[in-house]
Homo-oligomer: A and B are copies of this chain.
């Protein structure tokens, strides 16, 4: 119904014929949202129902096309930018008369892979709950017109938080502004990427190819979660990312554990022994020099770190944790350091298909988070030096028999590509109006976070395009992003609508 109605309205550039209002009336935006919230949710559910992982390349493209059409319907000049072998970029532009200021809005429309068996509902069939499932929320129908909407409701689907939420919020903000005839105060450039979750392998090439469309003063990076205190936050940097995969080898074939166990080397046990040498009891990395190149924090950053609200007690209760790693350090203190995390480990099988064998291999997939001063190559070198010190010979491919017979301990190390960390100075003058807009939308001071723990390829913006960045997250921190049962709390979607309306019209 709604889609049909919108198709009947010509997509005129309404904002070109009304005068820009410095600062939209946020009360009017909220009134619009109360009247039209059910439509916002219906449209968001339509977007969430399109599978957006690399396993569904056609649907991934359909996700981009959906966003392009919706932007075009709201009067933007909107295109899919193409490069061979890459999902398209959604690019759109809305020109504001009488200003040379241009703001860029980056979102990614792809999502993390899904393992449907681990989800309560199919990941691409959005469902509404009255609260988070783990807090006793109950499933309910989507609301109809006039039905009140509880901001504590949650919508469950892959990418509901990471990172389709800002798309829904921006579209709704434009609709609310149109209702008020409030035009943007800056030229707006929208850029939605389709392979952020696989490390943005083509974003740099896109930037080279389409640089003339990407001339902005500041990039607003719309991704990541709000602060765990539920207070909105602005984030001035992200950690860099890389990974390293380890495979330890036993015998060249599976062996009966009774006939050969404890004589043939067990690669699962070897891997456990190796991993155990890499950290101390508190989870601090003991690989030589791992923290050496971390840039010391300046006074301003230290002050911001100290001002970050403490959420540890509540988080630990929520997560069922009696203790944390780092010997009692705060979460933000840990995030200011590079990390080494086992994200997956496997050797033969456990559970119903377990067999009485000595495994052939044991694997650990490790992700490394980088901070300002550290780089992936250097940390990879240090990790490999540590592994060699434990008596291992490193190979890059599965070893042949000759290689197996020549070395007592063999390990395959695969270095995963990644990117460096980025951090914008909180005192940069370009940042001040962003803070003001966010605080208008939030109705309270927002958290100023020196860096996000997660990673985004922001070095491309700062290095290839030369523009500063500020991250403006809207999703709830407990949205299960990257995991089964990902969800978005509606209060966060509502904040996103207010935030984008305020940013689009900031003085």
Interface residues of A (CB under 8 A from B): 112-113, 115, 134, 225, 239, 241, 245, 249-266, 268-269, 271-273, 275-277, 279, 283, 316-317, 319-326, 329, 331, 334-335, 337, 339-359, 362-365, 367, 369, 399, 401, 404-409, 452-455, 477, 480-484
- Given the known A-B contacts A263-B325, A265-B325, are A251 and B319 also in contact in the complex, defined by CB atoms under 8 Å? yes
Q: Which of A258, A325, A337, A364 has the most CB of B within 10 A?
A: A258
Contacts of A480 in B (CB 8 A): 253-254
Contact A369 B257 (CB under 8 A): yes
Contact B407 A352 (CB under 8 A): no
A341-B355 Cα distance, complex, nearest whole Å: 11
Contact A251 B321 (CB under 8 A): yes
A367-B261 Cα distance, complex, nearest whole Å: 9
A112-B349 Cα distance, complex, nearest whole Å: 13
Contacts of A404 in B (CB 8 A): 320-322
Kindly list the 3 A-B residue pairs having the minimum CB-CB distance in the complex, ordered from nearest: A258-B454, A320-B404, A254-B483
Contact A350 B344 (CB under 8 A): yes
Residue of B whose beta carbon sits closest to that of A355: B482
Q: Which of A261, A263, A326, A407 has the most CB of B within 10 A?
A: A263
- Whole-angstrom distance from the CB of A444 to the nearest CB of chain B? 22
Contact B453 A256 (CB under 8 A): yes
Contact A269 B283 (CB under 8 A): yes
A102-B452 Cα distance, complex, nearest whole Å: 77
For A346, give its contact among B260, B320, B349, B455 (CB under 8 Å).
Answer: B349
Contacts of A317 in B (CB 8 A): 405
Contacts of A263 in B (CB 8 A): 324-326, 329, 331, 334-335
For A350, give its contact among B268, B364, B405, B408 (CB under 8 Å).
Answer: B364
- Given the known A-B contacts A113-B352, A341-B266, A355-B482, are A453 and B346 also in contact in the complex, defined by CB atoms under 8 Å? no
Contacts of A334 in B (CB 8 A): 262-263
A234-B326 Cα distance, complex, nearest whole Å: 57
A364-B340 Cα distance, complex, nearest whole Å: 21
For A339, give its contact among B261, B265, B279 (CB under 8 Å).
Answer: B261
For A324, give its contact among B265, B279, B337, B349 (CB under 8 Å).
Answer: B265
- Whole-angstrom distance from the CB of A288 to the nearest CB of chain B? 18
Residue of B whose beta carbon sits closest to that of A391: B281
- Chosen A-B contacts, 8 in total, with CB atoms closer than 8 Å, are A251-B319, A263-B331, A273-B275, A275-B276, A342-B359, A343-B356, A354-B365, A357-B483
Contact B355 A349 (CB under 8 A): no
Residue of B whose beta carbon sits closest to that of A224: B259
- Whole-angstrom distance from the CB of A373 to the nearest CB of chain B? 17
- Whole-angstrom distance from the CB of A120 to the nearest CB of chain B? 12
Contact A345 B268 (CB under 8 A): yes
Contact B261 A341 (CB under 8 A): yes
Residue of B whose beta carbon sits closest to that of A283: B262
Contact A257 B359 (CB under 8 A): no
A252-B320 Cα distance, complex, nearest whole Å: 6
Contact A340 B115 (CB under 8 A): no
- Given the known A-B contacts A401-B320, A453-B258, are A345 and B353 also in contact in the complex, defined by CB atoms under 8 Å? no
Contacts of A483 in B (CB 8 A): 253-256, 355, 357
Residue of B whose beta carbon sits closest to that of A404: B320
For A257, give its contact among B339, B348, B352, B409 (CB under 8 Å).
Answer: B339
Contact B264 A325 (CB under 8 A): yes
Contacts of A362 in B (CB 8 A): 345
Contact B323 A265 (CB under 8 A): yes
A264-B283 Cα distance, complex, nearest whole Å: 9
Residue of B whose beta carbon sits closest to that of A410: B322
A324-B116 Cα distance, complex, nearest whole Å: 41
Residue of B whose beta carbon sits closest to that of A347: B345
Contacts of A351 in B (CB 8 A): 344, 346, 363, 365
Contacts of A407 in B (CB 8 A): 322
Contact B112 A321 (CB under 8 A): no
A134-B404 Cα distance, complex, nearest whole Å: 15
A333-B481 Cα distance, complex, nearest whole Å: 52
- Given the known A-B contacts A322-B406, A483-B253, are A355 and B113 also in contact in the complex, defined by CB atoms under 8 Å? yes
A65-B151 Cα distance, complex, nearest whole Å: 64
Contacts of A326 in B (CB 8 A): 262-263
For A276, give its contact among B273, B349, B356, B359 (CB under 8 Å).
Answer: B273
A258-B452 Cα distance, complex, nearest whole Å: 8
A268-B345 Cα distance, complex, nearest whole Å: 7
For A355, give its contact among B112, B352, B405 (CB under 8 Å).
Answer: B112
A251-B345 Cα distance, complex, nearest whole Å: 17
Contact A344 B354 (CB under 8 A): yes
